[in-house]
A and B are shown apart, each in its own frame.
Chain A
Amino acid sequence: KQEVTQIPAALSVPEGENLVLNCSFTDSAIYNLQWFRQDPGKGLTSLLLIQSSQREQTSGRLNASLDKSSGRSTLYIAASQPGDSATYLCAARLPGYSSASKIIFGSGTRLSIRP
């Protein structure tokens, strides 16, 4: 069974700290991996998309890496701010389905940044 796991499930850090969120997946034949942010009761906002041929992607204070051989992706957030508080979900696009494919979500990391 293909699985995507996120650790930790919850994280609370003081403002200004750099932090790393982890995502692991069981199939190294991944097509791509996408990181999303979700505020309570809201939809998903795409943060970064990493293709299988890429090692990392950067957007502002965010940096995501992908290591297919070890089945891991990390989301690095620099100089965290209270506005970064949200749930962060990773989703892996994996083979084995129709041409429409499907993405497998991790269970998410609930991040709280303390002022």
Chain B
Amino acid sequence: DTEVTQTPKHLVMGMTNKKSLKCEQHMGHRAMYWYKQKAKKPPELMFVYSYEKLSINESVPSRFSPECPNSSLLNLHLHALQPEDSALYLCASSHMDRGLSYGYTFGSGTRLTVV
């Protein structure tokens, strides 16, 4: 298995809703990432987990709450979002090594619309 699987592919939610995005990989990667991408812009890093521990939080608002229950699964819990949070949310994973020689594998993303 060489894929990162993201569900759902599309999500529409109201500003008072609570929802979760899910990301799964079975490549043995011990680093997992959440990115946010607005139209015609490059992906922006949100969170990094390494060995199931949060290692980087790029000053993301608390209405976004990441969780890494195990080495294969990464969740992003959403609560009280704003319309400007509408974007493509991408999950990625990579191996961990001192030489940082490994590349990233991205999922196909979740298209989120906040109404």
Residues of A within 8 A of B (CB): 31-32, 34, 36, 41-46, 49, 51, 89, 91, 93, 97-103, 105-108, 110
Known contacts: A99-B96, A107-B41, A108-B42. The answer to whether A46 contacts B106 by CB under 8 A is yes
Tell me the complex Cα distance, A108–B45, Å. 16
Given A100-B50, A102-B48: A43 and B107 within 8 A (CB)?
Answer: yes
Question: Are A100 and B101 within 8 A (Cβ)?
Answer: no
Inside 8 A of B104's CB, which chain A residues have their CB?
A: 34, 44, 46, 91, 103
Interface size class of B (residues with CB under 8 A): 20 to 34
Is the Cβ of A98 less than 8 Å from the Cβ of B50? yes
Residues of B within 8 A of A44 (CB): 43, 90, 92, 104, 106
* Interface secondary structure of A, over-half rule: strand
Say yes or no: A89 contacts B42, CB within 8 Å: yes
Encode contact with A along B47-58: 1 for CB under 8 Å, 0 otherwise. Answer: 011100001100
Contacts of B27-72 to chain A: CB distance below 8 A: 31, 40-43, 45, 48-50, 55-56
